[in-house]
Amino acid sequence: MTQDPHRPEGRPVALISGGSRGIGRATVLRLAEDGYDVSFCYHSRPEAAELLAKEAEALGARVLAERVDVSQAAPVRAWVARTEQELGPVEVAVTSAGITRDKAMVMMSDEDWGSVVATNLDGVFHVCRSVGFSMMKRRSGSIVNISSVAGVHGNATQTNYAASKAGIIGFSRSLAKEIGRYGVRVNVVAPGFIDTDMVAAVSEKARGAALATVALGRMGTPEEVAELVGFLAGNRAGYITGSVFQIDGGIVL
C-alpha cells in the first residue's frame, strides 16, 4: 500500500467494480479495513450498496458508491473521474463485476453471448483504461482482475462466461507487460466454487456435483478471495505481476 505523495496524511484510494455483493463486497470491506478509502460501483440493488457504504465508513474509510454499467465506456470514465475528484488518485483497481447466462452453446442467443462478454471482459477493459494512464503517470498502482477457474479449464454450458474469463487472463498478462515499466502491477485472481449469490442460483444437484471436484470438500468464501486480493493490492506483493492465482480449494475438473 503506497501513500500518495500529495496526500501524506490521507488513505490511498481503491476502486472496485461490482462491489455491492459477493467477492466485490468482501473486497470493499477488506480494503477499507486495510486502510484504503474505497470507491465501488454496482448495477442493481442500491439498498445493498447503501448498507455496504455504511459498513466501510464504520471501518474508517471515505466511500463513494455509484451505479454504473461497466459494459459502457462513458459511465466508467465518469465514475473514475468522480472518484479521483472526491477521494484522490486511484492506487488500486479491482474488477469484480460479472454476470452469467449459462446455456448450451447451440442454444445460446446473441444476447446471452454479448451481454456476458460486454460486462465481464469489456468491463475490465473500460476500468483498466480509465485508471491506467493516471497510474502510469504516477508510476504507482496495482490492478487485480477477477477471472474464474472456468477461464482456465472451461466449463460445460458456460462458453460465454469461460470465454470472457479466459479473455481477462490474456488481457491482464499483456497489460502487465505493457505497463510494468511504469511501476504498475497487474494480476489475476481466478476463484473456483465460492459461496456467492451467483452460486446460490445453481441447483442443489449441480452444487453437489461441483463440490465433488473440490479437494477440500467445501465452497470457498468471498472473504477468503478478498484476502488474496488484498495481498496482491499491497506492497507485500510488490514483485508480483502478470500472474494468475487460482483460489479453488484444489478443484479437479
Instruction: Report how far residue 125's alpha carbon sits from residue 118's, in angstroms, rounded to the nearest whole number.
Output: 10
List the chain pLDDT tens, one digit each, 253 residues.
Answer: 434 333 435 899 999 999 999 999 999 999 999 999 999 999 999 999 999 999 999 999 999 999 999 999 999 999 999 999 999 999 999 999 999 999 999 999 999 999 999 999 999 999 999 999 999 999 999 999 999 999 999 999 999 999 999 999 999 999 999 999 999 999 999 999 999 987 766 678 778 888 999 999 999 999 999 999 999 999 999 999 999 999 999 997 6
Asked whether residue 251 is domain-assigned, the answer is no
223 lies in a domain?
yes
Q: Which phi and psi angles does 16 have, rounded to 5°? A: -130, 120
Is 155 among the domain residues?
Answer: yes
Q: Is residue 7 part of a domain?
A: no
Give residue-wise pLDDT tens across range 192-233.
Answer: 999 998 776 667 877 888 899 999 999 999 999 999 999 999
CATH of the domain at 118: 3.40.50.720
Alpha carbons 198 and 23: distance in angstroms, whole number: 10
Query: What is the count of structural domains for the chain?
Result: 1
> Which neighbouring-strand residues pair with 251?
214
The model's pTM is 0.94
Tell me the three cell numbers of residue 115: 451481454
Tell me the residue range of the domain where 239 lies. 13-246
The residues annotated with a catalytic role in the active site are 161
Residue 71 lies in a domain: yes
The answer to whether residue 161 sits within a structural domain is: yes
In a domain, 25, yes or no: yes
